[in-house]
């Protein structure tokens, strides 16, 4: 099961934060894509060292070699998982309650691997799971929601899935609308929303290039969606913020080889990761972005050049992960 870390580290495209999955999708397809306006904007200013943060490394004691923290709600509850996803080292999901450093296991029923990727303030979590631990991109993955301990499989009903199929839910808001993506047979990603209460699916697209490969990674209570897509103008992987008004804002850090937006809060503060250069050792830096302040680089001090920010709450707290000097992947919480 590929990890979020591998997705970011391989930069370009949303090739990772994904496991791989095949499943029969359930539910009804909403009638067509979301109604979107055709306005587009671009954001590209980069600043360093604005807000200061207090960083805490948080690793599940069951595995100190590989942890990723992926989501945080306003009470400080955190979603994540441990395990690299390599054969014999499966992903195992967990939730960390507020004001606690206990780890509550959360794994899809009957799964071999699970990642808990997002949660809202109402106790609902989302993520994806796999029924194998083969590694090397050979594991199928399936989206899921957990409502009060009742888990439900969620896969966008597509007629042309990748093989093995890839479908992941990555974020959820307080209206119980989740977002994610699936990969088609041509290896293109397609973003979608899933209404948990009504069991309905709808597409998330770039209104200026509806066929562009796109992954939806986060949604706030305004229904603004953040993610990444293939910019049709240059073929680069850029982040985006799609507002509920239909404005599609391209997010590309100046000079970066790729930019991926992975989280957004109700203040439209977007967080994610950008890569400088190419290759497996290309530096990766976390970022925050707002319309007022532009991009700001935020790296865990123990992982400068290996930091990914994956979630942000309305208090401005950040969660993510970095690679330390011993090549372990560690989760972190950053509090302004």
C-beta of residue 315 within 8 angstroms of C-beta of residue 267: no
- For residue 116, give the nearest of 98, 124, 128 by alpha carbon: 128
CA 40 to chain centre: 23
pLDDT tens, N- to C-terminus, the chain (336 residues) = 755 544 443 332 333 333 322 222 222 222 222 222 333 455 545 556 568 999 999 999 999 999 999 999 999 999 999 999 999 999 999 999 998 889 999 999 999 999 999 999 999 999 999 999 999 999 999 999 999 999 999 999 999 999 999 999 999 999 999 999 999 999 999 999 999 999 999 999 999 999 999 999 999 999 999 999 999 999 999 999 999 999 999 999 999 999 999 999 999 999 999 999 988 889 999 999 999 999 999 999 999 999 999 999 999 999 999 999 999 999 999 999
pTM of the prediction? 0.88
Q: Can you tell me the distance from the alpha carbon of 273 to that of 282, in angstroms, rounded to the nearest whole number?
A: 12
What domains appear along the chain, each with residue ranges and CATH number? Answer: 4-335 (2.120.10.30)
Q: Report helix, strand and coil shares of the chain as percent, to nearest 5.
A: 0, 50, 50
What local confidence, expressed as pLDDT, does residue 99 receive? 87
CB-count burial class (<10 Å; 0-12, 13-18, 19+) for 279? exposed
What local confidence, expressed as pLDDT, does residue 188 receive? 96
What local confidence, expressed as pLDDT, does residue 216 receive? 98
What local confidence, expressed as pLDDT, does residue 2 receive? 59
What local confidence, expressed as pLDDT, does residue 18 receive? 31
CB-count burial class (<10 Å; 0-12, 13-18, 19+) for 27? middle
């Amino acid at each position: 099961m590929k990890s979020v870390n591998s997705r970011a580290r391989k930069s370009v495209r949303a090739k990772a934060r994904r496991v791989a999955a095949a499943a029969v999708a359930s539910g009804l397809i909403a009638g067509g894509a979301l109604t979107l306006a055709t306005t587009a904007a671009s954001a590209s200013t980069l600043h360093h060292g604005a807000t200061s943060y207090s960083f805490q490394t948080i690793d599940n004691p069951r595995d100190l070699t590989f942890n990723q923290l992926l989501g945080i709600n306003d009470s400080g509850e955190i979603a994540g998982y441990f395990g690299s996803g390599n054969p014999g080292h499966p992903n195992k999901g967990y939730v960390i309650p507020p004001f606690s450093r206990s780890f509550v296991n959360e794994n899809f029923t009957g799964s071999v691997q699970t990642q808990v990727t997002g949660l809202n303030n109402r106790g609902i979590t989302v993520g994806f799971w796999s029924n194998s631990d083969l590694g090397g991109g050979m594991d199928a993955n399936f989206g899921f929601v957990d409502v009060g301990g009742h888990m439900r499989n969620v896969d966008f009903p597509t007629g042309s899935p990748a093989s093995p199929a890839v479908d992941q839910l990555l974020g959820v808001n307080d209206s119980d609308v989740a977002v994610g993506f699936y990969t088609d047979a041509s290896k293109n990603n397609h973003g979608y929303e899933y209404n948990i209460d009504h069991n309905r699916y709808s597409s998330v697209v770039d209104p200026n290039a509806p066929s562009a490969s796109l992954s939806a990674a986060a949604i706030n209570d305004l229904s603004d969606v953040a993610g990444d897509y293939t910019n049709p103008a240059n073929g680069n992987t850029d982040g985006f913020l799609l507002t509920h008004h239909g404005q599609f804002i391209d997010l590309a850090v100046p000079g970066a080889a790729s930019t991926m937006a992975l989280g957004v809060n109700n203040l439209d503060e977007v967080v994610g990761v950008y890569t400088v250069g190419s290759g497996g050792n290309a530096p990766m830096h976390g970022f925050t972005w707002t319309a007022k302040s532009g991009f700001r680089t935020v790296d865990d001090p123990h992982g400068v050049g290996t930091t990914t920010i994956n979630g942000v709450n309305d208090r401005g707290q950040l969660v993510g992960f970095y690679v330390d000097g011993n090549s372990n992947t560690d989760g972190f919480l950053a509090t302004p």
